[in-house]
Every structure is written in C-alpha cells, then in structure tokens.
C-alpha cells in the first residue's frame, strides 16, 4: 500500500498541484492539508479517497498559486465592537497590560472579512471544480501504483505459502512417527511405575498413556494449517479489498503453529514449528501491504 503520485494544472484563477503519499496501515487514515480559503475541499477529498481506497496512511497535500487578484476586505463591525466592549473589563483586571493596538485587533480572527463579488464566486467555484478533477486524476495514479505493487506482492506471497506447505508436509511426516515414539516412552515409564508401585491398576496407566498420546497428536493442527493456507490462496484470487481478511487468517495460522509447538514432543518437530512461525510472520508482514 505504499505509493506516491503527483498531479498539477492551471486555471484562470491560478495553478495547483496535488501530492499523495501512501504508506502501510491497518485501516484508512487520511491526513489532508489544503491552503486557507479552500477548506471546503477537505470533505470532498476525504470522501473520494475513502471510495477508492480501503487501507493505508494517506498524506494529501494541495499547493495553490493564485494569479488573479482577489476581492477586497472589510471590517466586521459587530465583531470589532464586541471586542472593544471587553477592553475596559480586561484593563480593570490587568492594569499593567498595554492598551490594544489597531494592528493587533485587525489580526484577530473574524475582524477582517474577505469581500467577494459575484464574478469571484463563479470563478472560485470553477477553480475548485478543476482542482477536484485534478485530485481524481492523482488518486487514480496512486491506485495504479498500489495495484502494481499488489501484483508483485502476490508472487512473493505465493512463494511463502509454498514454503509453509513444504514445512507442513515435513511436520506431518514426523507427526506420523511421533505416536510410536510416545507409546514406547510411555511403555517404559509404565513399566517403571509398576515396578515401584505394583498396586497401581495397569488399566488406569494405559488409559492415562492414551490421553497423553492424544494430546501430543499434532495432525489436527496440521490439517487446519493446510485449510488456512488454502483459504489465503482463495482470497488472493478474488477481486476487491482482502487485506483485513488476510490479517485474520494470519492470526489463525499463527495460533495453529503455536499450538503445534506446544504439543510437540520431538526436537525435530519443534524445529519445524519454529520455521513455520518465521514463515507465517513473513506472510503477515507482506499482508500489511495488501488492501
């Protein structure tokens, strides 16, 4: 979900340039910066970006250079009169403070207002419309770049899933021999217990041994791992936003691998489990780049 796009244009009112930077993110986080006087574009920009993209941290910057003189300015007398009415109270509370200056009063928000004629309004509307069209173009360029990145990531993910498949097959081969090893080890332990405590029922010991062997069986975890890998491949073949679903499947993959490692009674199988954890983590890192 990384990318960069830039677009620029010119109208009678002036020139403009859009820049969009995109980096990885679990959701869609939009930060938009527009020049003063064009704040109304913020909402439209966010709506357009949200319709086109689903994930990523976006930084959107609009730069505008005005080439035509704008309308004049006037003093908002109501605001100024209200401020002046507060001066005696402020002087009474803070007698040592210097009296207000004219330039200070005029710099306060709301005192000065821009005066726009009817022609200015029409030209400003046309300018804002052109700027939004330019944003649609730069957003499309960003989407193309992100799509190209997604195609490259699909190849990487396919290779990583093949690695997970191979590790699962190796784990399955070891898991097939693990019950016999557990059974032999338990048989030796049972014999030792019967020698030291002959009053223990042999049937009870055999039952406990069977329970331990069942708890150490990792074939169920391997079956679920293969099922999750197949689900990832199915999602990758679909159109649309799949990043969040892949996030969930990565959590499930990691959960099954952790269970496999905890149940393993063989060092070789534990080693394969650790390799699986590394492979799943690599998949999870790449999934963060997918919308």
Residues 153 and 215 in one domain: yes
pLDDT of residue 199: 61
Query: By residue range, what is the domain housing residue 92?
Result: 73-106
Residues 211 and 186 in one domain: yes
pLDDT of residue 19: 93
pLDDT of residue 60: 93
Residues 22 and 99 in one domain: no
Q: How far apart are CA 10 and CA 45, in angstroms?
A: 19
Q: How far apart are CA 277 and CA 256, in angstroms?
A: 10
Residues 168 and 184 in one domain: yes
Q: Is position 280 within any domain?
A: yes
CB-neighbour burial class of residue 60 (10 A; exposed 0-12, middle 13-18, buried 19+) = buried
pLDDT of residue 62: 93
In order, the DSSP letters of 155-196 are HHHHHHHHHHHHHHHHHHHHHHHHHHHHHHHHHHHHHHHHHH
Residues 181 and 256 in one domain: yes
pLDDT of residue 203: 65
Q: Do residues 17 and 63 lie in contact, with contact meaning Cβ atoms separated by under 8 Å?
A: yes
Task: Quick: pLDDT tens for 34-63.
Answer: 888 788 899 999 999 988 888 888 999 999
Q: Is position 44 within any domain?
A: yes
Q: Is position 117 within any domain?
A: no
CATH, residue 246: 1.20.140
Residues 139 and 7 in one domain: yes
- Low-confidence residues of the chain: pLDDT under 50: 119
CATH, residue 66: 3.30.230
Q: How far apart are CA 261 and CA 277, in angstroms?
A: 9
Q: Do residues 241 and 291 lie in contact, with contact meaning Cβ atoms separated by under 8 Å?
A: yes
Domains contained in the chain, number: 3
Residues 88 and 153 in one domain: no
pLDDT of residue 99: 81
Q: Is position 53 within any domain?
A: yes
Q: Is position 120 within any domain?
A: no
Q: Is position 47 within any domain?
A: yes
Q: Is position 45 within any domain?
A: yes
279 is written with which tokens?
């492979």
Q: Is position 277 within any domain?
A: yes
Strand order in the sheet with 56-66: 3-10, 14-23, 56-66, 28-33
């Amino acid at each position: 979900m990384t990318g960069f796009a830039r677009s620029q244009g010119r109208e009678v009112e002036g020139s403009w340039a859009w820049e969009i930077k995109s980096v990885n993110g679990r959701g869609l986080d939009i930060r938009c910066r527009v020049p003063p006087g064009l704040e109304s574009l913020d909402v439209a920009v966010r709506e357009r970006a949200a319709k086109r993209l689903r994930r990523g941290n976006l930084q959107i910057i609009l730069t505008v250079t005005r080439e035509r003189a704008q309308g004049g300015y006037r003093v908002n007398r109501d605001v100024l009169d209200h401020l002046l009415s507060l001066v005696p109270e402020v002087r009474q509370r803070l007698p040592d403070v210097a009296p207000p200056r004219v330039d200070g009063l005029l710099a306060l928000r709301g005192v000065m207002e821009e005066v726009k004629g009817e022609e200015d309004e029409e030209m400003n509307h046309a300018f804002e419309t052109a700027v939004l069209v330019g944003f649609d173009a730069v957003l499309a360029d960003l989407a193309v770049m992100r799509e190209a990145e997604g195609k490259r990531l699909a190849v990487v993910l396919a290779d990583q899933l093949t690695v997970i498949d191979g590790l699962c097959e190796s784990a399955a081969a070891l898991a097939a021999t693990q019950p016999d090893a557990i059974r032999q080890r338990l048989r030796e332990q049972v014999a030792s217990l019967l020698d030291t405590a002959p009053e223990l029922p042999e049937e009870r010991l055999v039952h406990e041994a069977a329970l331990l062997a069942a708890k150490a069986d990792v074939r169920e975890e391997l079956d679920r791992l293969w099922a999750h890998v197949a689900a990832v491949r199915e999602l990758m073949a679909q159109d649309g936003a799949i990043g969040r679903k892949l996030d969930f499947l990565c959590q499930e993959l990691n959960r099954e691998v952790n269970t496999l490692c905890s149940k393993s009674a063989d060092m070789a199988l534990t080693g394969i489990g650790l390799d699986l954890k590394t492979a799943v983590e690599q998949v999870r890192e790449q999934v963060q780049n997918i919308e």
